[in-house]
């Protein structure tokens, strides 16, 4: 057996007792879902379990194996790749991902007839390079295995490898070895633990309805295997599930000397869906559906489910490289179909023009000229269907890698280009991460014109009054032009066992509440709002990575409570105008939209006087109001529909 050690181990703070851990997240079995990719022709390359054939004879510059996006548990000290290789001609490029940033390192693959280990110390450290995202060499959240890439290295041959396993070793806080996750199917809890021996504990659960009334509870002892193998346990409700529209199961795991975050899973019943397929461009109700992420039947499936929730706008990125893969050669097929499907389901599109074609020179005069030429063709081609164009995504942070003031030049010239191609089109500018008043003011001072300001007012905590006030300040700053929210949202991630993330963890119940409240704040701020959540469907199915859990649908398209929260909001308020705030009680926010009064108490439970009518909660459960006062649960919005 051959051992090859590269780099130096990442420094780990020793503020608390640590324990050494080792687990094997990948065994290269077929069910793990590895995919082959290449720069060039894959030729006869293939993977069968862990047996890999790499065919460079057709000119591929590299051939890579990519797994489904999964979070690695704990702090990654070393990555150990166990394999057999018949050739040393093709070095390995290992990529590990943190949030929006990639770490990569290139190591030789020794040829040997026997099994061998390549042992690589985890990033950051000697030998590692990084790119994209913050691009600062720091870890911005849990690491995920991105890719195993074998470079041609000028050898145009065919080689065979047998990949046996990948093992992750590290030093962890001794009380942070376990992760508890839950999912609604059969109300199942999964437990993984990095301990070197099995641990025994007690798993308890509590069922609650939307009003936090307890429906049942239970507990059971559980033995968790060593080395992050999974133990699963399902909680069986002893009540009639179909008597409710919402049931939440909260799981707690008690293991001596372990600090384990609870996990929750929510079940929702099928509810009233929208059937309106008419385009309604005056509607404020958008959603980051991002149809451009879908292929085949899933594209129409996503549009249909969005229509069913009342979505009337979607922000769609128009990929320059996909439409114009080579200078002057355009392929509109995919986006023509996308727009036709969106129209069929009553969804208007505002187009995002972000990123560079692979054949241009980013952040140069030539690159900007190419961007403008593409923009001209894009707007001309879709002038009958798309009338709003957003210039770049979050140029105030790392998504724009050029000089900040160059963005103002791009916006100014893109504005002129779009108006020339379609004088009726509206140009959406800034698209800032957060509400970056300084960036907005600076861009305006450089005489960059725009018709609509777009912002992404993400925040860890929802302070409703502060959000309304900030939106009004933004409107004043841009001299009364409309302010559109083209991204915001909260995630339903499960906390990682050792590493914090940029977004705080919230439950699916809280996400549903935040969605309704945030849209109501956007409407209450006035102006001509257009509001889109990020995003419609989870980007992945690993709950330990916050970016995977931003959706109001699970990865399998099943609704989260936030989906029904959105559908309830749009069903009650579509076509209704804000008539003003209503003074209900101190600390309560209330706004009237026609015959609908929306109200919530952000901070505490309250009893409030209400008019007669039908009370509808955030996820669509309704009942007549039989008294003159009702109890408002903290953070939970309600609607009162009057005659």
Question: So what's the pLDDT on residue 328?
Answer: 97
The candidate with the shortest Cα–Cα distance to 91, out of 101, 105, 78, 103, is 105
Considering the chain, what percentage of its residues have pLDDT values greater than 90? 91
Sign of CA dihedral 216, 222, 225, 231: negative
Average pLDDT over residues 161-173: 95
Same fold across 178-268 and 580-641: yes
CATH superfamily of 580-641: Golgi alpha-mannosidase II (2.60.40.1180)
pLDDT over 80 at 6, yes or no: no
pLDDT over 80 at 130, yes or no: yes
**pLDDT tens, position by position, 346-383:** 999 999 999 999 999 999 999 999 999 999 999 999 99
Place 13 in a pLDDT band, splitting at 50, 70 and 90.
Answer: very low
pLDDT over 80 at 14, yes or no: no
Cα pseudo-dihedral 615, 617, 621, 623, rounded to 10? -20
pLDDT over 60 at 11, yes or no: no
Average pLDDT over residues 491-511: 94
Contact between 532 and 287 under an 8 Å Cβ cutoff? The reply is: yes
Place 89 in a pLDDT band, splitting at 50, 70 and 90.
Answer: confident
Considering the chain, what percentage of its residues have pLDDT values greater than 70? 97
Place 628 in a pLDDT band, splitting at 50, 70 and 90.
Answer: confident
Question: So what's the pLDDT on residue 12?
Answer: 38
Question: So what's the pLDDT on residue 3?
Answer: 35
Task: List, in sequence order, every residue forming a beta bridge with 549; answer none if it has no partner.
Answer: none
Say whether domain 2-172 belongs to CATH 2.60.120.260: yes
Question: So what's the pLDDT on residue 4?
Answer: 38
Question: So what's the pLDDT on residue 16?
Answer: 65
Average pLDDT for the chain: 94
Instruction: Give the 3-state DSSP-derived string for 494-555, with helices as H, strands as E and coil as C.
Output: CCCCCCCCCCCCCCHHHHHHHHHHHHHHHHHCCCCCCEEECCCECCCCCCCCHHHHCCCECC
Helix, strand, coil % over all residues of the chain, rounded to 5: 20, 35, 45
**pLDDT tens, position by position, 133-150:** 999 999 999 999 999 999
**pLDDT tens, position by position, 333-350:** 999 999 999 999 999 999
How far apart (Å, rounded) are the C-alpha atoms in residues 107 and 129? 12
Residues 6+ apart with CB under 8 A from 443: 407, 408, 411, 429, 430
Task: List, in sequence order, every residue forming a beta bridge with 71; answer none if it has no partner.
Answer: 144
Residues 6+ apart with CB under 8 A from 268: 245, 246, 559, 560, 561, 563, 564, 619
Place 1 in a pLDDT band, splitting at 50, 70 and 90.
Answer: very low
Beta strand pairing call for 483-485 and 452-456? parallel
**pLDDT tens, position by position, 260-270:** 999 999 999 99
Place 542 in a pLDDT band, splitting at 50, 70 and 90.
Answer: very high
Question: So what's the pLDDT on residue 110?
Answer: 81
- Residue with the bigger pLDDT between 627 and 465: it is 465
**pLDDT tens, position by position, 386-437:** 999 999 999 999 999 999 999 999 999 999 999 999 999 999 999 999 999 9
pLDDT over 90 at 626, yes or no: no
Q: Where are the domains of the chain?
A: 2-172, 178-268, 285-575, 580-641
Question: So what's the pLDDT on residue 502?
Answer: 86
Assigned CATH for 178-268: 2.60.40.10
Place 212 in a pLDDT band, splitting at 50, 70 and 90.
Answer: very high
Q: What is the per-residue DSSP string for 337-377? A: HHHHHHHHTT-EEEEEE-S--TTS-TTSHHHHHHHHHHHHH
**pLDDT tens, position by position, 431-482:** 999 999 999 999 999 999 999 999 999 999 999 999 999 999 999 999 989 9
Question: So what's the pLDDT on residue 496?
Answer: 95
Average pLDDT over residues 194-204: 97
CATH of 285-575, one of 3.20.20.70, 3.20.20.80, 3.30.470.10, 1.10.760.10: 3.20.20.80
CA diameter of the chain: 82
């Amino acid at each position: 057996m051959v051992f090859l050690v590269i780099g130096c181990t990442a420094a780990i703070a020793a503020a608390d007792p640590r324990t050494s851990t080792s687990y094997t997240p990948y065994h290269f079995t077929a069910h793990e879902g590895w995919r082959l990719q290449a720069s060039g022709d894959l030729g006869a390359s293939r993977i069968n379990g862990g047996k890999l054939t790499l065919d460079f004879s057709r000119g591929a510059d590299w051939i890579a194996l990519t797994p489904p996006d999964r979070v690695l548990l704990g702090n990654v000290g070393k990555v150990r790749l166990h394999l057999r290789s018949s050739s040393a001609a093709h070095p390995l490029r290992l990529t590990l991902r943190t949030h929006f940033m990639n770490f990569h390192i290139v190591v030789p693959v020794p040829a040997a007839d026997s099994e061998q280990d390549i042992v690589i110390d985890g990033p950051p450290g000697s030998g590692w390079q990084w790119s994209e995202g913050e691009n600062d060499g720091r870890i911005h959240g849990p690491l995920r295995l991105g890719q195993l890439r074998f470079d041609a290295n000028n050898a145009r041959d065919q080689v065979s490898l047998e990949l046996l396993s990948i093992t992750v070793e590290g030093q962890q806080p001794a009380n942070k070895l376990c992760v508890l996750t839950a999912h609604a199917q059969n109300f199942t809890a999964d437990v993984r633990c990095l301990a070197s021996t099995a641990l025994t504990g007690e798993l308890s659960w509590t069922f609650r309805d939307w009003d936090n009334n307890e429906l049942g509870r239970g507990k059971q002892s559980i033995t968790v295997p060593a080395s992050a193998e999974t133990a699963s346990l399902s909680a069986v409700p002893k009540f009639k599930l179909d008597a409710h529209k919402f049931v939440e199961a909260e799981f707690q795991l008690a293991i001596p000397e372990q600090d384990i975050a609870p996990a929750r899973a929510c079940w929702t019943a099928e509810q009233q869906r929208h059937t309106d397929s008419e385009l309604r461009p005056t509607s404020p109700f958008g959603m980051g559906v991002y149809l451009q992420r879908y292929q085949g039947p899933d594209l129409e499936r996503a549009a249909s489910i969005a229509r069913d929730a009342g979505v009337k706008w979607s922000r769609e990125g128009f990929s320059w490289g996909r439409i114009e893969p080579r200078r002057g050669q355009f392929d509109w097929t995919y986006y023509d179909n996308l727009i036709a499907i969106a129209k069929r389901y009553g969804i208007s599109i505002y187009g995002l023009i972000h990123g560079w074609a692979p054949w241009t020179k980013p952040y140069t005069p030539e690159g900007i000229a190419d961007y403008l030429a593409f923009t001209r063709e894009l707007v001309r081609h879709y002038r009958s269907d798309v009338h709003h164009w957003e210039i770049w995504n979050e140029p105030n942070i790392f998504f724009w890698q050029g000089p900040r003031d160059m963005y103002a030049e791009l916006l100014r010239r893109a504005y002129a280009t779009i108006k020339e191609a379609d004088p009726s089109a509206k140009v959406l500018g800034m698209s800032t991460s957060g509400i970056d008043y300084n960036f907005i003011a600076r861009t305006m001072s450089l005489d960059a014109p725009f018709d609509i300001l777009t912002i992404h007012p993400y925040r860890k905590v929802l302070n409703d009054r502060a959000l309304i006030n900030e939106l009004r300040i933004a409107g004043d700053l841009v001299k009364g032009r409309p302010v559109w929210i083209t991204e915001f949202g909260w995630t339903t991630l499960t906390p990682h066992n050792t590493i914090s993330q940029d977004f705080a963890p919230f439950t699916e119940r809280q996400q549903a509440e935040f969605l309704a409240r945030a849209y109501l704040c956007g409407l209450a701020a006035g102006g001509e709002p257009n509001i889109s959540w990020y995003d419609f469907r989870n980007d992945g199915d690993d709950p330990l990575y916050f970016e995977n859990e931003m959706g109001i649908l699970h990865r399998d398209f099943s609704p989260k409570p936030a989906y029904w929260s959105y559908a309830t909001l749009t069903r009650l308020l579509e076509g209704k105008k804000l008539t003003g705030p209503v003074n209900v009680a101190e600390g309560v926010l209330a706004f009237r939209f026609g015959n609908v009064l929306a109200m919530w108490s952000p901070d505490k439970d309250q009893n409030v006087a209400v008019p007669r009518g039908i009370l509808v909660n955030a996820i669509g459960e309704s009942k007549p109001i039989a008294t003159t006062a009702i109890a408002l649960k903290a953070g939970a919005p309600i609607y009162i529909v009057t005659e």
